[in-house]
Structure 1
Amino acid sequence: MKPLALVFAIAILYGCSHPPQQQQQAAPPSLPVMEVKSGNSTTYQEYPASIEGTVNVEVRPQVSGTLDKVFVDEGAYVHAGQPIFKINELPYRSALNNAVAALHAAEAAQANAQIEVEKLTPLVENKVVSDYQLKTAKASYRAATANIESAKANVATAQINLGYTLIKAPVNGFIGRLEKKQGSLVTPQDVAALTELSDVHDVHVYFSLGEKDFVTFKEQYPGETLQDKLKKVPYVSLLLADGTEYAKQGKIDIIDGQFNKTTGAITVRATFSNPQGLLRSGNTGKIRLSLDHKDALIVPESATVDMQDKVFVFTVGDSSKVKKQAISIIGKNGDNYLVKDGIKAGDQIVLTGIDKLQEGMVIHPEKQPATDKSAAVAKN
């Protein structure tokens, strides 16, 4: 019995000290993959914008004097021709009276000169006096006539200056800040205007495009000239300062003639209707431009990884090995990137778990159904 027990113990020890040479290897991880598809999509770009009324007029005095009356308040809406300021008119009415008196004196002098010519004419004809006296009388008459014309011009000037004492609205619009109050001395040389009048039934919204964005913008629309292309540009949206979207859409109608040498950007103008006056000159916001992309490759943002200012995806190749591939992004639509190059339609990419992948790693791909988000976007 003892030898048999010894042999059995030795066999057990030998088996424990010599494990099987072929160990079972770990199975590759199962990760969801999708097939890259192409489709039509739209991306949006936003640009800071400033808003101005279609007409912005500085109201300035054209004569000097004391501001006697202010007929309007800040923010009031006025119509063209409506009085808004009154300058003390007494000095200008006095100047008009003096000019009228000078005109009357000139008219009297002309009448005297006419009488002298009529008196001397028969005397010269009868050779009672020399024609020299008649010539002198006629010259005096012409001088008196010229004096009348000068006096009339002075009267007209005095009337104009008197009219300038009542300052009227040149256009329809809203009154801005009143820089001068009643009793202030105003002159045409004042640095600040009395106020600014803004017509905002329609507003111009100005924004700038960089050179690259401008090239992309032009390539979006058909037409031989820039004006032809502008006719094809769809309506644009305006985002207000609080992030809300303005109820009406605008139309891009003008592009500046040259780039700004300092900023390297070109100014673009869009016009918006503003019937309720919700927008005012000086407002700011953002213009939202839509860009259409045909046959764009669509990749979920969650299937990408950013490294060293580049964006990568993991493609699945032969033998289910993954490869890290850099891609070029041309835009974003929701949770999806629009890809220019780096991959092609039909490629398989890993959707999740990419933070644990390494180049050449083998996975067990699990294809996702065609109803996922990226496929839905591709049909837009």
Structure 2
Amino acid sequence: MKRNFILASMILSILALSSCNNSQHQQAAQGPMPFPVESATKSNVTVYNEYAANIEGEQNIEIRAKVDGFVDKIYIDEGAEVKKGQMLFKLSSQTLNQQVNAAKANIEVAKAQLVSAQVEVDKITPLVQKNIISAVQLQTAESSLNAAKAQLIASQANYMNAKENLDYTFIKSPVDGIIGSIPYRIGSLVGRSEAQPLTTVSNISNVYAYFTLNEKQLLQFNRQLNGNSIASKIKELPEVELILADGSTYDHKGKIETINGMVNPRTGSISYRAIFPNPANLLRSGSSGKVKMPSIENNIIMVPQKATYEMQGKKFVYLVNKENKVQAKEVSISTSIDEKFIVQNGLNEGETFVTDGLIKLREGMLIQPMNQKHSPEGNAAFSKK
């Protein structure tokens, strides 16, 4: 029995060895597995950086009452388009009308006093010339005449001031624009001391987009521009785009107009202002978006994101050596652009790496490299995510 068992075991071992040899011979006949590879090359890339922006109208003018009074009429509604000089509000004017009438009456009184003072001077002058009366009386009369003239000027000024205050009860738009919120209603008492304005008129024919860069971004950005002064650098700046709140790109491109002269010490950032045309009034004051600004990255190496894998928070690529064996290599990534990574360290120009199928690879594995076609070198454009 024992002899039969030993014989059966020997037969099974021979069959297993034969099967293994057949498998190895079959694998050797197939050869190494093919994998797509690519050689690392340096190129200049136009990168589009996005910065959160606040949008404001070219003019945001608060409409305030210059005189105290009750709101009699409101001629516009919130969100309405208005033209320069268009009526917005009418304030009560009864008291101011009385002040205008009183000031006008004071002018007539002053004129009468002036006439009387002039008559007195005309009467005394020949008498003084004939030495009938003293010259002191003439001087007194002339002083009264001068006082009457001054009183008339003061009365006229008071009338103009009262009339101007009356005109202030008719509140008109100083610019073309869009009406903001109206916190007051008919009958509300308003005046110069009110915290809230009657409304706001926003001139949005052009809009400003305000955004910030940190110090590192500012230095990097400035090194790419020619010119020694801020004005000369601004002239070198390319046009920028605006990404709206719904993710769409605004139809019109803008231009950076100003760069703040100081870095905010609390945030370490500096503010930029770009201007965009707004012919269709699509953009409104207070809205938000993202300014998309191009910058050039010189002599950089980019790899497809699928050509990397992550382990313990680090990223790796598989390099291919002269024997067509793969070797894992850690790389340092600076940023992601579309479906590619910008490699900061770890990959040198000319080195070959596997671009796809990394899950099938193992350290030291022999592969069959399949070269991919390279995209044309030179300037390419990408957007940061």
> TM-score, structure 1 length as denominator?
0.87
Stretches of structure 1 that go unaligned for 5 or more consecutive residues are 1-5
| Equivalent position of 1:212 in the other structure | 216
The one-character-per-residue Cα deviations of 1:279-313 (angstroms, maximum 9, x if unpaired) are: 11011111112222333212111122334554332
- Measure how far apart 1:332 and its partner are: 3.2
SS at match of 2:152: helix
- Measure how far apart 1:327 and its partner are: 2.8
Task: Please tell me the residue identity of whatever aligns with 1:151.
Answer: S
2:174 equivalent to 1:184: no
- 8 Å contact kept, 2:325–2:367: no
Matches within 5 A, 1:68-83: 68-83=72-87
Task: Please tell me the residue identity of whatever aligns with 2:84.
Answer: A
Q: Distance in 2 between matches of 1:228 and 1:31?
A: 54
| Equivalent position of 2:199 in the other structure | 195
Identical amino acids, percent of aligned pairs = 37
1:167 to 165, 171, 193: 171
| Equivalent position of 2:375 in the other structure | 376
- 8 Å contact kept, 1:74–1:178: yes
RMSD: 2.8
Task: Please tell me the residue identity of whatever aligns with 2:346.
Answer: G
| Equivalent position of 1:305 in the other structure | 309
- 8 Å contact kept, 1:43–1:332: no
| Equivalent position of 2:383 in the other structure | none
SS at match of 2:367: strand
The change in CA–CA distance for 1:108 and 1:324 in structure 2 (over 3 A counts) is same
SS at match of 1:73: coil
- 8 Å contact kept, 1:30–1:363: no
| Equivalent position of 1:121 in the other structure | 125
The change in CA–CA distance for 1:97 and 1:13 in structure 2 (over 3 A counts) is closer
Q: Select between 28-37 and 225-234 the one with higher mean Cα deviation.
A: 28-37
Q: Distance in 2 between matches of 1:203 and 1:281?
A: 8
The change in CA–CA distance for 1:214 and 1:247 in structure 2 (over 3 A counts) is same
2:108 equivalent to 1:142: no
SS at match of 2:109: helix
Matches within 5 A, 1:194-343: 194-307=198-311, 309-317=313-321, 319-320=323-324, 322-343=326-347
- Measure how far apart 1:322 and its partner are: 4.4
The one-character-per-residue Cα deviations of 1:27-52 (angstroms, maximum 9, x if unpaired) are: 89746232212233332221111111
- 8 Å contact kept, 1:31–1:351: no
The change in CA–CA distance for 1:283 and 1:106 in structure 2 (over 3 A counts) is same
Q: Distance in 1 between matches of 2:82 and 2:70?
A: 23
| Equivalent position of 1:3 in the other structure | none
| Equivalent position of 2:352 in the other structure | 348
2:106 equivalent to 1:106: no
- 8 Å contact kept, 1:31–1:352: no
SS at match of 1:368: strand
2:95 equivalent to 1:96: no
Q: Distance in 1 between matches of 2:311 and 2:144?
A: 98
Q: Distance in 2 between matches of 1:69 and 1:242?
A: 38
The change in CA–CA distance for 1:36 and 1:262 in structure 2 (over 3 A counts) is same
2:69 to 65, 74, 77: 65
Q: How many residues align?
A: 364
2:53 equivalent to 1:49: yes
- 8 Å contact kept, 2:332–2:346: yes
The one-character-per-residue Cα deviations of 1:256-276 (angstroms, maximum 9, x if unpaired) are: 111112211111111111101
Q: Distance in 1 between matches of 2:358 and 2:154?
A: 93
The one-character-per-residue Cα deviations of 1:192-219 (angstroms, maximum 9, x if unpaired) are: 0000000111111111111111122222
The change in CA–CA distance for 1:145 and 1:16 in structure 2 (over 3 A counts) is closer
- Measure how far apart 1:342 and its partner are: 2.2
